[in-house]
């Protein structure tokens, strides 16, 4: 099993896991503890746990499609906030290209909410192709309370 938690710098923490659904809980626990170390408010911790879980789930189910592969999550401090980078070696996919669901519609689609929840929980989401193949998803969120989108 690939799994390592390391402190690459004073204010950065990384976990690497195998892309499996039964490793999601470990990723969430890592996000919780790392964000708390950075002084994030509960509101921020809850949001980033949600966002990273949804991102990692998408990598397992859609990116690697159940095949083996690594997922790395790095948490570091950003200006007035937290930066999370989620790296994989799956085929390139840009989640920022996915449109928002129509929440006012009378036909709800509960199965397509993952990327919407990432957007709702963060201040920014950007995607870069990873050198050598794969994806880097970068999420940034302020440390404390933020104005709700709804």
Write out the residues near other proteins by the rule CB under 8 A. 21-22, 24-25, 28, 46, 49-50, 53-54, 57, 60-62, 101, 103-104, 106-114, 116-117, 120-121, 149-150
Closer CB to other proteins, 26 or 78, in the complex: 26
Tokens 């690939």 appear where? Answer: 2
Q: How far is the CB of 132 from other proteins (least distance, A)?
A: 27
Q: Which of 15, 20, 25, 18 is nearest to 1 (CA)?
A: 18
Whichever of 39 and 66 has its CB closer to other proteins, that residue is 66
118 touches 55 (CB < 8 A): yes
Report yes or no: 53 and 37 within 8 Å, Cβ to Cβ. no
Nearer residue to other proteins within complex by CB, 99 or 111: 111
Pull the structure tokens for residue 25: 């809980």
Is residue 38 within 8 Å of residue 54, measured between CB atoms? no
* Nearest distance in Å: CB 74, other proteins: 21
- Smallest distance, other proteins to C-beta of residue 114, A: 4
CA angle 78–15–148, rounded 5-degree value: 45
Taking the least distance from each CB to other proteins, the nearer of 63 and 134 is 63
């Amino acid at each position: 099993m690939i799994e390592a938690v390391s402190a690459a710098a004073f204010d950065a923490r990384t976990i690497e896991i195998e892309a499996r659904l039964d490793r999601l809980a470990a990723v969430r626990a890592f996000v919780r503890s790392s964000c708390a170390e950075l002084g994030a408010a509960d509101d921020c911790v809850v949001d980033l746990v949600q966002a990273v879980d949804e991102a990692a789930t998408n990598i397992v189910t859609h990116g690697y499609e159940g095949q083996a592969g690594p997922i790395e999550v790095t948490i570091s401090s950003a200006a007035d906030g937290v930066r999370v980078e989620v790296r994989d070696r799956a085929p390139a996919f840009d989640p920022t290209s996915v449109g928002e669901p129509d929440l006012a519609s009378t036909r709800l689609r509960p199965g397509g909410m993952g990327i919407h929840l990432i957007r709702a929980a963060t201040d920014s989401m950007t995607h870069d192709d990873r050198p050598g193949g794969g994806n880097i998803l970068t999420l940034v969120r302020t440390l404390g309370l933020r104005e709700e989108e709804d």
